[in-house]
Amino acid sequence: MPTSNSCSGRVLWIVGLVLLAWPARCEELGSCNPDERGTCVSQQGVASLETPASFCNLPTSIYDNGGSAQSYRPGAPLSNEVCRAENGDEYRYKSASWPALRRSMRNGSAPKLDITLKVWSCATSNDHKCACNPMQRATARSASSVVEIWQARPDGLYSPLRPMAPGSDDCRAQVPLTDDGMAKFTTLAPGSTGIMGGLGPGGWDSNPYGPPVIHFLVRAKGHAPLLVDLPVMIHTKTLEPRKFSIGDIRGVAWARKAAAELPMKIRSWTANVPENKISLELDVYLQPSYQDQPEFCSHYLYEFPSSFFLEPMSVCAPSMLDFFAL
């Protein structure tokens, strides 16, 4: 990669450090409280149902909740495994806790994640209050009710966006909802992506880095699709959640919107250090709508940052796959 690009990347994060020198907010982790040191700690066993009014206000765009679909590819296989555990030894675990550097750990060290995601259906009641209830059985059993999940591998790279390319199904899956409106799956902790968003040609990426995330596209019959990113910042010794320092200064952070109230909460985070495993329970809140298919390509030109970092390249600009050699 040319030296000028490398220099521009360094200049980018240095400028960002000056302009955005504040700690990441604990709200990024959903339902967690800061302790006296300002570190995000989990709320074990919290099952309270919060129903902000924003949960019942239909979004104008699928990107209103801060999620990015840039690395999305349709047609992922039906599976309860997103990143297969048996392939974990192939990848170094690369995670960053601030934009300047990304730590590279040994192969197979990425923690395993056991995730249970419960889907709630929210609507305005007769007294004009927002109420969220468990998903109805008939809705959950519909063929169109599914949770699409994709993420970077532990090494911070996404699998190819071409459906027939070798390894294109790595760390991508569709998980159907159970009768009680839940999606249960296992995966490996994602790695941090950099200025290329984990999609650089030849696996190239550089600082500034951002927090590792898991992308969710939740769809249920009669509901508006929900696109949201779950930050998975992990303390490598305790496996407890941690914050991302300074703040995300990559291009995707400039393009996405900040939700007034994220319609996803972490209900529990249970670390198992001896087994290098974390169990997560999440709640997500859907809004009623007759349009249950995502409207991905809302911009006229894909080349603008507002579209490039958010809209799926494989859907909205497939010709660019030749340029990026993905």
pLDDT tens by residue, 246-302: 899 998 998 988 887 899 999 999 999 999 999 999 999 999 887 778 899 988 888
Class of residue 152 by CB neighbours under 10 A (exposed 0-12, middle 13-18, buried 19+):
buried
Percent of the chain with pLDDT over 70: 84
Task: List domains and CATH numbers for the chain.
Answer: 3-324 (2.60.130.10)
Looking at the predicted structure, is the pLDDT value of residue 187 above 60?
yes
Percent of the chain with pLDDT over 90: 59
Mean pLDDT of 174-184: 95
User: Rounded to two decimals, what is the model's pTM?
Assistant: 0.85
Q: What is the pLDDT of residue 36?
A: 36
Q: Compute the distance between CA of residue 93 and CA of residue 227 in angstroms, rounded to an integer.
A: 26
Token digits of residue 175: 């998980």
Worst-scoring range by mean pLDDT, 48-57, 182-191, 193-202, 218-227? 48-57
Q: By the 8 A CB rule, do 111 and 190 touch?
A: no
Q: What is the pLDDT of residue 324?
A: 67
Q: Compute the distance between CA of residue 21 and CA of residue 15 in angstroms, rounded to an integer.
A: 10
Q: What is the pLDDT of residue 26?
A: 36
For the chain, give the number of residues: 326
Q: Who has greater pLDDT, 1 or 170?
A: 170
| pLDDT tens sequence across 21-37 | 343 333 344 444 433 33
Q: What is the pLDDT of residue 325?
A: 61
| pLDDT tens sequence across 190-211 | 999 999 899 887 778 999 999 9
Q: Who has greater pLDDT, 219 or 11?
A: 219
- Tokens 């494989």 belong to residue: 314
Class of residue 16 by CB neighbours under 10 A (exposed 0-12, middle 13-18, buried 19+):
buried
Looking at the predicted structure, is the pLDDT value of residue 244 above 50?
yes
Looking at the predicted structure, is the pLDDT value of residue 7 above 80?
no
Class of residue 129 by CB neighbours under 10 A (exposed 0-12, middle 13-18, buried 19+):
exposed
Mean pLDDT of 47-71: 81
Looking at the predicted structure, is the pLDDT value of residue 141 above 70?
yes
Q: What is the pLDDT of residue 148?
A: 98
Looking at the predicted structure, is the pLDDT value of residue 243 above 50?
yes
